[in-house]
Amino acid sequence: MPLKVGDFVLPGELIEDIKSIKGLTIVGPGLRQNEEKPNILCVTQPGTLRFKAPNMYWIEGKRKRYIPKKGDLVVGIVVKKSGDTLKVDIGAAEFASLSMLAFEGATKKQKPDVQVGDCVYAKLLNAHREMEPELVCIDSYYKAGKLGILPNQGFLLTISLNLTQSLLDIENPLLRSIGKKIPYEMALGVNGKVWINCKKSKEVIYLMKIFDVAERELHKDAVTVCND
């Protein structure tokens, strides 16, 4: 039975008749090319099969562990400083490396002031299965933009990847509506780490509670399905 878009799929299942443009198909997380029959995709994680016109496939599951992917914007904690490189915990299987020279305006002589324990908002420069992920805090024009070291005052918490993705969806009005009540700034990494900064610590706790409730709301449908 051929799999349809929106079906629940399990690892090992095959997706045939792939749509493509000029022989090109974009594949998101949870899928990989089948080795035996190269025109077929193989599922590697359980979840719902999603498709976006014209040629994009991916799996939406309840994955807990973040898998680094090139181009992702993540929040990380500096855990080690050795020479010119920093080791950053981004919640992946391995620490990511961040060069001291990959900050805006950094030179060999003038390095940024980073301490162990600092939070950084950085972009993944490359991420392969066999290599340690590499971060940068500048874009291709050597400008920092929104990237860089996050201020020391602030609070870091970890939320689920599903909640992160739903919060980062522009259709989700939660972040904007909180902003109307409480002035706050945040760095929401795709890896599930969130750095929040408010004027009062009471407001930080308030935000944390909101995320907690939002997380439970996300799982509500799963609970109701199980009860039925």
Partner 1 sequence: MENSKQIKLSKAILEMKFMKRTKEKVEKEKEDAEGQAMYSGEITEEMRRTGNLVFISTSIVNCKNLIDGRLSFGGMNPEIEKLMANDYGIQLGEEEKRKEKDITDVEMAEGYSTVVNTVEKKFSKSNKHKFKNKKFMKPVDGPLM
> Whose Cβ is closer to partner 1: residue 112's or residue 148's?
148
Taking phi first (over 0 means left), then psi (-120 to 50 degrees means alpha), and beta for anything else, what does residue 77 get? beta
- Which H or E element spans position 182? none
Residues 55, 21: contact at Cβ < 8 Å? yes
In angstroms, the CA 96 to CA 86 distance is 8
Tell me which of 52, 64, 219, 220 binds partner 1, using CB under 8 A.
52
Q: Is residue 188 within 8 Å of 168, Cβ to Cβ?
A: yes
Q: Does 62 engage in binding with partner 1 (CB under 8 A)? A: no
**Minimum CB distance to partner 1 smaller for 199 or for 220:** 199
Span of 3-11, 64-72, 94-102, 215-223 interacting with partner 1 by CB under 8 A: 64-72
Q: Does 2 bind partner 1 (CB under 8 A)?
A: no
> Is 154 an interacting residue with respect to partner 1 (CB under 8 A)?
no
Residue 102 structure tokens = 């990959």
Task: For residue 46, state whether it binds partner 1 (rule: CB under 8 A).
Answer: no
Beta bridge partners of 58: 50
23 lies in the site for partner 1, by CB under 8 A: yes
Per-residue tokens: 43: 């599922």
Query: Where do contacts with partner 1 occur on this chain (CB under 8 A)?
Result: 18, 20, 23-29, 32-33, 37-39, 41, 50, 52, 56, 58, 69-73, 75, 121, 145-147, 164-165, 168-171, 175-176, 178-180, 182-190, 197-199
